[in-house]
Amino acid sequence: MSDIYDLHCHSTASDGALSPTELVERACQQGVTHLALTDHDCLDGLAEAEIVASKLGLRLIPGIELSTTWEKKCFHIVGLGIDPNNNLLLEGSRHAQSTRLNRAEKISLKLEKKKIFGAFDAVKAAAGEGMITRTHFANFLLSNNHVSNLQEAFDKYIGDNKCAFVATIWPSLDEAIAWIKAAGGIAVLAHPMRYKLTKSSMTRFMNDFKKCGGQGIEVVYGRSSQDDISAAANLARKFELAGSVGSDFHNPNNQWIELGRLNSLPPGIKPVWQFF
């Protein structure tokens, strides 16, 4: 049986719809042999995922997707192969949880100005012990018929710079990569084509990412076009980064591709799993 990697996905510990157990079971059914669970700013799902993965004979790579700020913009850095008990990451995660709670209050107040009530209680209940994310707001807006699909929730209300958007200061790129490295992990730039950077900003970002100790880039992403894959592969070659593959699976019912259904890395790109 050939190896099938999927190194980016979410569980109910952040904005995924499946519990860590359900997620690992599904990955196994889909033939995934190496799965990284990478919840937003959160390690809480990893222990449960590991128990199921070892029962099913699937290799779980402990991961996290850290929200970071670089030049006032949010960048997602996936940490792969981290120690889930590392104190710097645990402390960063606790801080992110309170940042997210504060942000949720502010988003809810902005929604109230648009005569949309009850968001805060709803997202808090939906997130439970997990991280409150904008996905929870999108689900709330959809289930209360304020929008007709999740994308519209982002386009109309909670997307960057829309009327209920709240700018947030996340840990710096430098800090986040330092935590990942201290936890024994590899820092990977998630979905590089989603930031819509100009060529010169991308070069500046990549130079900083390398300087901070970044080692990988998500060359194959769940929603990448062939052009996106080529562009990300060019960045991997130019900046001598290893390539990762990740679906960013959140939910079996909408918009996300299935776990493990990813294109192979283009020729000449060293896989990030050389480090594991």
Per-residue buried b or exposed e for 34-52, using 16+ beta carbons within 10 Å of the residue's own CB: bbbbbbbbbbbbbebbbeb
Report what 134 binds from ligand AMP, Mn ion, none; CB cut-off 5-8 Å by kind: ligand AMP
Per CB under 6 A, does 266 bind ligand AMP? no
Report what 110 binds from Mn ion, ligand AMP, none; CB cut-off 5-8 Å by kind: none
Stretch that binds ligand AMP, among 28-36, 127-135, 174-182, 229-237 (CB under 6 A): 127-135
- Single residue of 6, 15, 39, 218 touching ligand AMP by CB under 6 A: 15
- Single residue of 5, 75, 140, 154 touching ligand AMP by CB under 6 A: 154
- Single residue of 8, 26, 34, 250 touching ligand AMP by CB under 6 A: 250
Binding residues for Mn ion restricted to 12-71, rule: CB under 5 A: 15, 65
Q: How far is the CB of 41 from Mn ion (least distance, A)?
A: 10
Tell me which amino acid residue 117 is.
Answer: F
Binding residues for Mn ion restricted to 242-261, rule: CB under 5 A: 248
Number of residues that bind Mn ion (CB under 5 A): 5
Write the DSSP assignment of the chain as a string of letters.
----EE--B--TTTT-SS-HHHHHHHHHHTT-SEEEE--BT--TTHHHHHHHHHHHTPEEEEEEEEEEEETTEEEEEEEES--TT-HHHHHHHHHHHHHHHHHHHHHHHHHHHTT---HHHHHHHHHTTS---HHHHHHHHHHTTSSSSHHHHIIIIISTTSTT-----PPBHHHHHHHHHHTT-EEEE--GGGG---HHHHHHHHHHHHHHT--EEEEEETT--HHHHHHHHHHHHHTT-EEEEE--B--TTSSPPPTT--PPPPTTPPBGGGG-
Stretch that binds ligand AMP, among 43-51, 149-157, 179-187, 266-274 (CB under 6 A): 149-157
Q: How far is the CB of 56 from ligand AMP (least distance, A)?
A: 26
- Single residue of 67, 68, 97, 247 touching ligand AMP by CB under 6 A: 67
Nearer to ligand AMP, 150 or 272 (CB): 150
Binding residues for Mn ion restricted to 223-242, rule: CB under 5 A: none
- Single residue of 19, 33, 151, 203 touching ligand AMP by CB under 6 A: 151
Binding-site ranges for ligand AMP (CB under 6 A): 15, 40, 67, 133-135, 150-151, 154, 159, 250
